[in-house]
Amino acid sequence: MSRGAGLTLGLLAVAGGLIVSGSLRAAEPASSVAAGTVLLRYTFRRGDDLASDVMHRALTETTMNGVTQSVETSTDSSRTWNVVAVDEAGAATLEQVVDEVTMTSRSSDQGEIRWSSAGLADPPPGYEGVRQSLGVPLVRLRVAADGRILERRELRPCPAAATGDLVIVPLPEEPVAVGHEWSVPDEVVVEVPNGPRKSVRTRLRYRLQRLDDGIATIAVDTTVLTPVDDPRLEARLLERIWDGTIRFDVEAGRIVGRRTAIDRRVVGFGGPQSSVRYKASLEERATSPKPAP
């Protein structure tokens, strides 16, 4: 995989795969919630700025004709979701802004490139648009109180996230206890440049893993439902299939962090002697939001 492709994966982690933090309020009186269960709901307030820091690391090893090349990338970013409106039903309109980013790429044949938006240097060739994408709204979402995405609009070109499009965690409809599972269908489109293109059905499965000192840990994993028998498409699908955990502060009513990880290999994507391995991790931590005016 080229250095440009490695940097692109870092950019994907900036453009998507975000957590959204909100206040949590039970939709029914506490007395009506069964003991040992919790009812999770988002409650957003107009004017809130919901901030997070994201650390993404990825290693791609590509082998062709017995020669292995590697690209290692790291992307650190700070981003904010602005709550621009909340309707009477509690549905919120959110806009995402990436505030700053630091990107590093190391390849086995070209050395290291590093760029930080905090400095004065221009972005690497081919990524001049990164600076223009900072500090401006990239995505607008309309989100229901239970986490359903009612509407999504890309305000600027925004590729799918390298670790899944986890913009907001969908919440179960009813109060749940530890061990409860719920799932959400999804669909991703994978394609090979100048090659085939396929829509792939997936399923995100969530499980309330534990509840310790007011922090709910939610495990999530991805299952591919559509058979993919073309190694070229399977290789492009690697970064879209991931597992991880989400930490939810029940008392504060917000997601305070998440971790995801991928380590998969595909053989034969470019001939019988070819293989690609993609190993990546992502950690996201909520930071103190600015108070509403």
| Phi (first) and psi of residue 3, to 5 degrees | -60, -40
> What pLDDT is stored for residue 93 in this prediction?
95
Identify whether the C-beta of residue 43 lies closer than 8 Å to the C-beta of residue 23.
yes
**pTM of the complete model:** 0.79
The Cα diameter of the chain in Å comes to 66
> What pLDDT is stored for residue 33 in this prediction?
55
> What pLDDT is stored for residue 255 in this prediction?
81
How many Cβ atoms from other residues are within 10 Å of residue 44's Cβ? Answer: 23
pLDDT in tens, the chain (293 residues): 444 444 433 433 433 434 443 333 334 443 345 668 888 887 788 998 889 999 999 999 999 988 999 999 999 999 988 999 999 888 899 999 999 999 999 998 788 889 999 887 888 876 777 888 899 999 999 998 888 889 999 888 755 443 334 557 888 889 899 999 999 998 888 888 888 889 999 999 999 999 888 888 999 999 999 999 899 999 888 888 889 999 987 777 678 899 999 999 999 988 888 999 999 999 999 987 544 44
Q: Tell me how far apart the alpha carbons of residues 119 and 102 are, in angstroms, rounded to a whole number.
A: 10
> What pLDDT is stored for residue 285 in this prediction?
92
Domains and CATH numbers, the chain: 3-286 (2.30.230)
DSSP-derived secondary structure for 139-168: EEEEE-TTS-EEEEEESS--PPPTT---SS
